[in-house]
Amino acid sequence: MECEERILIDIEKLDESFKEIKSIKFTAEEEEIIERAKSYKEDCKYYLKKGDEISSFGCITYAHGLIDAIKLNHSIN
């Protein structure tokens, strides 16, 4: 699998995670974490467009980690 293809799949998976958590009532801190994850997703797309796959992959991985922490905090598998 090509790196770009993997990143695009990870973007789709992140979007699925955002859908999984959208009905939760978040604290102000959690809202900030979610906004940061969204920013990292946009950074990921920016770097991918520029051809910097390493930075792009780092951004999407970090975004997943933030959302995974939110899901863990709310007992979502």
Contact 40, 68 (CB under 8 A): no
Summarize pLDDT for 6-23 with one digit per residue, the tens.
999 999 999 999 999 999
Confidence grade of residue 77 (pLDDT, cut at 50, 70, 90): confident
The pLDDT score that the predictor gives to residue 23 is 92
Residues shown for the chain: 77
Domains of the chain: 26-77 (1.20.1270.90)
| pLDDT given for residue 56 in this prediction | 98
pLDDT-derived band of residue 1, with 50, 70 and 90 as boundaries? confident
pLDDT tens readout for residues 16-54 = 999 999 999 999 999 999 999 999 999 999 999 999 999
CA distance 15 to 19: 6
Burial class (CB in 10 A: 0-12, 13-18, 19+), 12: exposed
